[in-house]
Amino acid sequence: MKKFQVWLAAILMAAGLGLVAPTPASASYCDLVWGSLEKTEGDMGRGQVTNARTGQHYCFDRMVVDLNGPVEGYTVRYVPTVVQDGSGLPIPLRGRAFLQITVNSPAYDDGSNPTYKPADPKELTNVGGYQTFRQLAWAGSFEGYSSIGLGVRGRLPFRVFTLDGPGAGSRFVVDVAHYW
């Protein structure tokens, strides 16, 4: 009987330490398995930027860039300071961390006419009340690249992906998690 009690105590201790019957590990909030390292892909795009918008979700805040053609390439990374396309001048942003978001597509057509000209480049959308986003600002479009600065609450994990449509257009999406 004493042996049984020793074995039972050992099994219960191992279970308490997570050594027996481990459950699948989830290292992040809302089962999001994202990171905070640079994400980049592709070549120059054939479409042009037409809009930028944001939305709130249960586990993350979302930014969407609309294009009138396919998304061919992008770079999204945390930077100490977001800089303006062409001039390299800093773009002041609210927040404790900053994402420089570059879509490899211009915000102008072949005749140099703007396809996206925000009413207020310093505040592309109102992100007041968002859990993660603090400010979305236009950093410009230069030599076929368009950039946006995103001020966030902290250096949080993010993901990047593209969606087809509507029509011949596409959408470039950046989701930033509320927590790690």
Domain spans in the chain, listed from the N-terminal domain onward:
30-177
* CATH architecture of the domain with residue range 30-177: Sandwich (2.60)
Please tell me the predicted confidence (pLDDT) of residue 9: 62
Q: What residues are paired with 170 via a beta bridge?
A: 67, 164
- Structure tokens, 177: 């998690």
Please tell me the predicted confidence (pLDDT) of residue 27: 40
Please tell me the predicted confidence (pLDDT) of residue 108: 96
CA distance 115 to 113: 6
Q: Is the dihedral of CA 129, 132, 133, 134 positive or negative?
A: positive
Nearest-CA neighbor of 131 among 175, 76, 77? 175
Taking the model in full, what pTM does it have?
0.82
Residues of the chain with pLDDT under 70: 1-29, 44-45
Contact 69, 46 (CB under 8 A): yes
Please tell me the predicted confidence (pLDDT) of residue 42: 82
